[in-house]
Amino acid sequence: MIRIPAKSKQAQEANNLVEGLQAYFVSKLNTIALTYGEGKSCEPVEWGRDEGRHGGGVRYEARDEIVFNRGSVNMSQVHYDDDERKNLGSATAISTIIHPRNPHAPSVHMHISWTQMRDGKGYWRIMADLNPSLLSESHLDAKIFSKMLEEVSHEHYEEGKAQGDRYFNIPVLGRTRGVSHYYLEGFNSGDFNADKIFAQKAGEAVIDTYISILSSKLELHPRFSKEDKEEQLAYHTLYLFQVLTLDRGTTSGLLIHDQNDVGIMGSIPSHINRNILASWTAKMPVPQDKLVESLLKALPKEVPTPVNEKTKIALANAVRKHYKKYPQALSLQASGESVPPTVDNHK
């Protein structure tokens, strides 16, 4: 399959940036697998938007199950150069989530994208968040991760932190998804090259800091208890809950098309606890209680509840069907402030 790239020079430069960050992160993850696991490298899976005519992408999936519960490093570029009816010119992104198998090691999510409209105007979106399963062990890691974000983003840190804390808030549970959040939305200083350098430095800093935290946790905690795994399973349930009921990026990607459902759902951990998820149904406002009920129908009946590729597709269809039936419910999703939809966020 040949993926046709966007014609815009800025979109091409953004594509080079996200491909470089993807290769950098995958090489670091492969080193982690060599050091602490079986040495199984991440494997690429390619997909095409309209069979590549409007771009597409490639995701690297973690294969070393000794180290990773689930891991996906995605890059994509979708464009509409041949469709003048579309206001969107192109959307170019890297979006990645890593869930380690060891509950002592936190998960991480990062998204960096360049979105360009048909009139040439564009903006960057930079997101990063640290997501531990064991909150009691997370204080130092949160401090390290937040300090890195502050040092790399300078005067943009407070805005990104505040917007991230709002976006990853889960009101019905009275907590946030992670312990350190950053979300810089609609960023454009007027100097594309300077902004591109900032995006690259931010991505590299997030990758380096996370790999350092991950290595330290795996070194210090080679073993874990049954209770630790149960706490991780509960957190992974919360992660699925946040992504599928609140995350605008995930929902918009699923509503735009169904050609990359498995990639977009790549952030979902391998197992959750459906009983915990079911207990949150009554907390949800109408009609989001119906969404949780639909998710439960798509999930297997056992606990721990596996989320394989077939289940991911069923969950994606449940989300899509819900918002087509209740479009007004989109207003109940997370908001840093105003968060316009984009393409294929792969949360």
Give 341's pLDDT tier (boundaries 50, 70, 90). very low
List C-alpha distances in Å: 223 to 71, 103, 220.
20, 9, 9
Other Cβ atoms within 10 Å of 55 Cβ, number: 26
Segment 162-213, tens digit of pLDDT = 999 999 999 999 999 999 999 999 999 999 999 999 999 999 999 999 999 9
pLDDT value for 347: 37
Segment 217-250, tens digit of pLDDT = 999 999 999 999 999 999 999 999 999 999 998 9
Alpha carbons 270 and 74: distance in angstroms, whole number: 17
Segment 109-150, tens digit of pLDDT = 999 999 999 999 999 999 999 999 999 999 999 999 999 999
Alpha carbons 199 and 124: distance in angstroms, whole number: 8
Give the E-state strand segments of the chain in sequence order.
43-48, 55-61, 68-79, 88-100, 107-117, 122-131, 169-170, 175-176, 180-187, 271-272, 305-306
Alpha carbons 57 and 224: distance in angstroms, whole number: 36
Sort residue 128 into left (φ over 0), alpha (ψ -120 to 50) or beta.
Answer: beta
State phi, psi for 94 to the nearest 5 degrees: -115, 135
Pull the structure tokens for residue 239: 């992660």
State phi, psi for 109 to the nearest 5 degrees: -130, 140
List C-alpha distances in Å: 14 to 20, 77, 93, 330.
10, 9, 8, 29
Alpha carbons 220 and 197: distance in angstroms, whole number: 35
Alpha carbons 326 and 318: distance in angstroms, whole number: 12
Q: What is the CATH number of domain 9-224?
A: 3.40.1500.10
Amino acid at 1: M
What global pTM score does this model have? Answer: 0.94
Segment 55-87, tens digit of pLDDT = 999 999 999 999 999 999 999 999 999 998 999
Alpha carbons 24 and 271: distance in angstroms, whole number: 28
Average pLDDT over residues 14-41: 98
